[in-house]
């Protein structure tokens, strides 16, 4: 049997999108997966929608946090419960193409690597492709990610049987970057699949497009999580600001 893939999905008030996200997982050409959904205190119909889907697909697990604690807590809760050979992530408003898992596993084996990630298409809430595709580099190192986090939670795919299971730092923003850097401290690079494998849905008023709101979190990440000195932090945040502008200019 093919190796089990653990899929990590945090959700918060995602009733408008989560059924579509789950369907994109169910439509994968690679069948041996478990999807662990952790609800971060939603007040909408998210729980009822997931419950109706779970009735017909026991590969999906659902857990609900008592209070809203942020995506790091939700993802770490799911990571703790994951038992797969591989671990990957999809948020409750994004979509994978049907061959995402198959191509990720294939690339890990063919390239003899333990961490892959992919390019993706960018769409509005109606999944209209009004933005340019985000094409990832073929390889990224620890210092590359400090300059610009080109690894999206939407496509990160890690061989945790080889690298071990790690947790995201308990910070409100940039927690995914913190996890990637933990792995990139022990491997030379992560390998990028340049053909888009997924769709990232850009929500209205998304903070990810408002870089000015994220500068303080990025600075805090450099100083407190990675414990970089003042000069290093300044160097990397200038790179991050420039590359962030280039990434979202369209």
Inside any domain, residue 149: yes
Distance CA 117, CA 2 (A): 20
Inside any domain, residue 250: no
Inside any domain, residue 218: no
Inside any domain, residue 234: no
Inside any domain, residue 243: no
CB 138 within 8 A of CB 191: yes
| Digit-coded pLDDT (tens) for 100-146 | 999 999 999 999 999 999 999 999 998 999 889 999 999 999 999 99
Q: What angle do CA 233, 239, 245 make, to 5 degrees?
A: 130
Inside any domain, residue 152: yes
- Listed in sequence order, the DSSP H helices in the chain are 18-26, 46-54, 71-81, 100-111, 142-147, 160-163, 175-184, 211-220, 230-248
The pLDDT confidence band at residue 170, using thresholds 50, 70 and 90, is confident
CA–chain centroid gap for 58, Å, is 23
Look up the pTM and report it: 0.92
Which CATH number goes with the domain that contains 72?
3.90.550.10
Question: What domain range is 54 assigned to?
Answer: 5-204
| Tally of domains in the chain | 1
Inside any domain, residue 129: yes
| Digit-coded pLDDT (tens) for 74-92 | 999 999 999 999 999 999 9
At 246, list the tokens.
């280039």
Closest-CA residue to 157 (of 28, 71, 243, 56): 28
Inside any domain, residue 227: no
| Digit-coded pLDDT (tens) for 171-208 | 777 899 999 999 999 999 999 999 999 999 997 765 45
Q: What angle do CA 84, 164, 12 make, to 5 degrees?
A: 60
Judge whether residue 219 has pLDDT over 50.
yes
């Amino acid at each position: 049997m093919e190796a089990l893939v653990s899929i990590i999905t945090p959700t918060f008030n995602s009733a408008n999108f989560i059924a579509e996200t789950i369907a994109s997982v169910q439509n994968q050409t690679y069948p041996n997966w478990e999807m662990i959904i952790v609800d971060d205190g939603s007040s909408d119909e998210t729980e009822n929608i997931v419950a109706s889907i779970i009735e017909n697909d026991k590969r999906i697990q659902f857990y609900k946090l008592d209070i809203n604690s942020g995506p790091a807590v939700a993802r770490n809760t799911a990571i703790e419960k994951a038992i797969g050979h591989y671990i990957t992530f999809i948020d409750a408003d994004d979509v994978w193409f049907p061959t995402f898992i198959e191509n990720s596993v294939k690339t890990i084996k063919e390239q003899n690597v333990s961490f892959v990630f992919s390019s993706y298409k960018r769409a509005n809430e109606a999944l209209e492709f009004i933005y340019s595709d985000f094409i990832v580099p073929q390889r990224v190192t620890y210092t590359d990610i400090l300059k610009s986090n080109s690894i999206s939670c939407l496509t990160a795919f890690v061989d945790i049987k080889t690298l071990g299971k790690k947790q995201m730092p308990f910070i409100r923003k940039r927690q995914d970057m913190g996890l990637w850097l933990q792995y990139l401290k022990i491997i030379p690079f992560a390998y990028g699949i340049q053909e888009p494998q997924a769709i990232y849905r850009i929500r209205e008023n998304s903070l990810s497009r408002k870089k000015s709101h994220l500068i303080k979190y990025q600075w805090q990440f450099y100083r407190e999580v990675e414990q970089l000195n003042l000069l290093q932090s300044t160097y990397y945040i200038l790179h991050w600001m420039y590359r962030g502008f280039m990434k979202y200019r369209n």
